[in-house]
Amino acid sequence: MSTVPQRQQGKVAFITGAARGQGRAHALRLAAEGADILALDLAGPLPGVPYESATPDDLAETAKLVESLDRRVLTHQGDVRDFEDMKAFVDRGVTEFGRLDVVVANAGICIPATWDETTPAQFKDTIDINVTGVWNTVMAAAPHLVAGGNGGAIVLTSSYAGKKMQPFMIHYTASKHAVTGMTRAFAAELGKHDIRVNSVHPGGVATPMGSGDMVTEIERTNATNPKLAAMGTAFLNQGWVEADEIANAVAFLVSDEARFITAEHLSIDAGAQYF
């Protein structure tokens, strides 16, 4: 890890969805750069998703890996839909670690479904986690950034679907567009405190979200209207990335090297197109 820039020395980062995948990658990258980590994850069954859910063991493994980088970590098995519980965890973390500087609202779900088979429960769960959960994350954490008086950086995880669209996922596309708008709105109001807010927009990422029946479900929905399946085709030869590539972008956005970047929406999708 000696080649990793030490841009987060003495800082503390709060990350949701930190048990595995992109969330774990963010935790490890920021810890490698010197940050202590507050890591929250449901670490249990997610509503209606076709892929395998994270477990308490996954969250414990994230903690172990952060500690192996000689950084402090505090974990919590919690639901981003539960504002009071998340706020209590962040409050406890700030009390224990002394400050908060970085927030990465990463937790989210994805359920492939055509427009006419999407259920009210699927739509509600997607909005509750992907939109309200992100709002809860910022609302629980931003007051500590303001009170600290040192500015800060917030990154919201949107998606390719938050700039363009994801076929056969109206509920997911709606949720990620909402995150894009939320980024602009929070950036505007928190700017007076020198708090920057940006969003990242990954395309295909090799994470456990692709496990279980996820690929089968995507193939099934694609088959209902094959011409739409070409949406998201990458310009580059490799059309997907590892979670570390997303973490690289997040680490840049929360660093002082990006101190004049706010309300930006950074695509990490190999140029994924509409058709």
Active site residues: 172
| Cβ(80)–Cβ(107) below 8 Å | yes
Q: Which residues of 186-225 are buried (b: 16+ CB within 10 A; e: fewer)?
A: bbeebeebebbbbbbbbbbbebbbbeeebeebbeebbeee
CA distance 26 to 65: 12
Q: What is the dihedral of CA 8, 10, 11, 16, to 10 degrees?
A: 90
Report residue 263 CA to chain centroid gap.
16
Edge to edge, what strands does the sheet with 195-202 contain? 73-77, 36-41, 12-16, 102-105, 152-157, 195-202, 265-268
Other C-beta atoms lying within 10 Å of the C-beta of residue 10: 11
Strand segments (E) across the chain: 12-16, 36-41, 73-77, 102-105, 152-157, 195-202, 204-206, 240-242, 265-268
